[in-house]
Amino acid sequence: MQRNRKELESTSNELAKTIAKLNEEIFEHKKSDEALNNSETRFRVLFSQPSVGVAQIDSNTGIPVRINQKYCDILEYTLEEMQSRSFQTITHPDDLSVDLANMELLKSGKITEYNIEKRYFCKDGSITWVDLNVSPLWSIGEKPSFHIAVVKDITKRKMAEEKVHFLLKEKEILLKEVHHRIKNNMATVSGLLMLQAASMKEQKAIDALNDAQARLQSMSVLYSKLYCSDNFNEVSLKEYLETLVDEVFFNLSDSTHISVEKHIEDITIPTKISFSVGIIVNELLTNIMKYAFKGGDKGQVLVSASKKDDKVIIVIQDDGIGMPESVRCNGSKGFGLNLVDMMAKQINGTIHIEHNNGVKFILEFPL
């Protein structure tokens, strides 16, 4: 009797365990069904989105097996027409290689999704720009089957971007043309000054006209740099000063006995500053060539430019005969040095002179 009771208790315990396990499996099955239903609901909601086109596409053929109305509307096809066309046949050929390359990366598992901007051919042959996002409908290790493609029409935005790009390009061409015409006008004025100087007899008048022509030349060099550049807001100080120095020495016929050394760092400065810098350098070099080596003595001129902290330092020095200690840029009797001082102040800079085995001009301005 006691043995039968033990066997009954054992059987009851086993039955209870079995029932509990069945209940657990039923619960898990219900959870799985709920998850499946939720997933199916989300999938349906995704396809019914009116703002974007959504398609479930066969990853091997590229043909949609399920597609929403918005996708069809974007490309102006009917549902039946879209379900008979692969994405390869309606993609612009210039964009197809990028799309296919990304799809291969997706199939190999190297990426989990990709997003590109591409062009589709509409039914009437016109082109529509879309933002395309593609994600897989398979698990890692499985054979690629389907993928989800979500597209948004961005044609209006791309057209606006192209218009802006066209206007910017047009503006660049116009600016280059303006710089070119200004440079030509400067060359004309320079020629007139040269002719006027040749017709004069008074030496002071000739010198004044020649000085004016030299100042004009420094601005002409800058415009040449701007004309060849894609950036009209900034200019390379190295390229500008090296060309300007060469021009000054070339224009002075009696400068063959003077050598020039240039140590100019590659610094970018705003164009509005470069005008003043060019006039200052031109004025100082012209002054040196006129007075530092009288009598045809051999000499050397050093032009250097460097940047320290937030300041640009330009040094122009010679080993000539020097000048009186009393000469300063500020308050000088000569027009040239007064012009230099005025231009330095315009760029919030300072300029001073050191007298030692020649003359050294030091220009400093913030950048």
- In DSSP notation, 205-270 reads HHHHHHHHHHHHHHHHHHHHHHHH-S-SSEEEHHHHHHHHHHHHHHH-TT-TTEEEEEEE---EEE
Number of domains the chain is built from: 4
Question: 310 with 196, same domain?
Answer: no
CATH code for the domain of 255:
3.30.565.10
Question: 240 with 353, same domain?
Answer: yes
What pLDDT, on the 0 to 100 scale, is given for residue 279?
85
Question: 144 with 100, same domain?
Answer: yes
Question: 112 with 83, same domain?
Answer: yes
d(CA 114, CA 134): 5
Bridge partner residues of 117 (DSSP): 131
Question: 23 with 121, same domain?
Answer: no
Question: 162 with 148, same domain?
Answer: no
What pLDDT, on the 0 to 100 scale, is given for residue 341?
86
d(CA 128, CA 25): 51
Question: 149 with 176, same domain?
Answer: no
Question: 196 with 214, same domain?
Answer: yes
Mean pLDDT by 10 residues, the chain (367 residues): 51 50 51 50 57 87 88 89 89 92 90 92 92 85 85 90 85 77 79 81 81 74 67 82 83 70 90 86 82 73 90 89 69 72 89 85 91
Question: 173 with 109, same domain?
Answer: no
Question: 358 with 277, same domain?
Answer: yes
**What six digits make up the tokens of 223?**
């415009």
Structural domain that includes position 200: 156-232
Q: What is the DSSP letter of 68?
A: -
Of 168, 200, 232, which closes a domain? 232
What pLDDT, on the 0 to 100 scale, is given for residue 304?
93
Of 125, 153, 181, which closes a domain? 153
What pLDDT, on the 0 to 100 scale, is given for residue 312?
93
Question: 120 with 139, same domain?
Answer: yes
What pLDDT, on the 0 to 100 scale, is given for residue 253?
54
What pLDDT, on the 0 to 100 scale, is given for residue 44?
59
CATH code for the domain of 84:
3.30.450.20
d(CA 350, CA 10): 104
pTM > 0.95: no
Of 153, 180, 203, which closes a domain? 153
Question: 190 with 245, same domain?
Answer: no
What pLDDT, on the 0 to 100 scale, is given for residue 333?
62
Q: Catalogue the long-range contacts made by 95-101 (C-beta closer than 8 Å, 24 or more residues apart).
A: 95/119, 99/132
Number of Cβ atoms within 10 Å of the Cβ of 128: 19
What pLDDT, on the 0 to 100 scale, is given for residue 132?
92
